[in-house]
Amino acid sequence: MSDVESQNDQSESEQAAERRKAPPIESRFLFVDVSALRAKQLRRGAKSRLEPAEPEESQPVAPAVPPVPGAPTARKIKAERVAMQEVRRGLVDWQLPDFKAVFDIR
């Protein structure tokens, strides 16, 4: 392994260690807002922060079979579902904006 590859491996592990869990969201309305913004990022090409599913070693991996025309296929997981799972697990950082009081003097 070259020095560049080892540095990349170290930096990735350091980033994962540095990433702390976000505080839990107690308001369902805030949960929806944060999830919607994260889903928008995912639809625009951001990578998911969830761990990729790995096949268990005890179960053999089936060989790839070409799809049969007209047969049902596996459904794609929607970005909204992935975003909600990320928010539930605390993988998405969020902050409330500073609220400014506005007074109408009419």
Q: Is residue 27 part of a domain?
A: yes
Q: How far is CA 73 from CA 17, 44, 68, 83, 89, in A?
A: 37, 24, 9, 23, 29
Look up the domain containing 41 and give its range: 23-45+79-89
12-33 residue pLDDT tens = 555 555 567 888 889 999 999 9
Q: How far is CA 17 from CA 12, 20, 93, in A?
A: 9, 7, 15
36-46 residue pLDDT tens = 999 999 999 99
Q: How far is CA 5 from CA 8, 15, 19, 45, in A?
A: 5, 15, 21, 25
- Residue 93 makes CB contacts below 8 A (sequence gap 6+) with 22
Number of domain units in the chain: 1
Q: Is residue 31 part of a domain?
A: yes
62-105 residue pLDDT tens = 666 676 777 777 778 899 999 999 999 999 998 887 877 777 77
Q: Is residue 4 part of a domain?
A: no
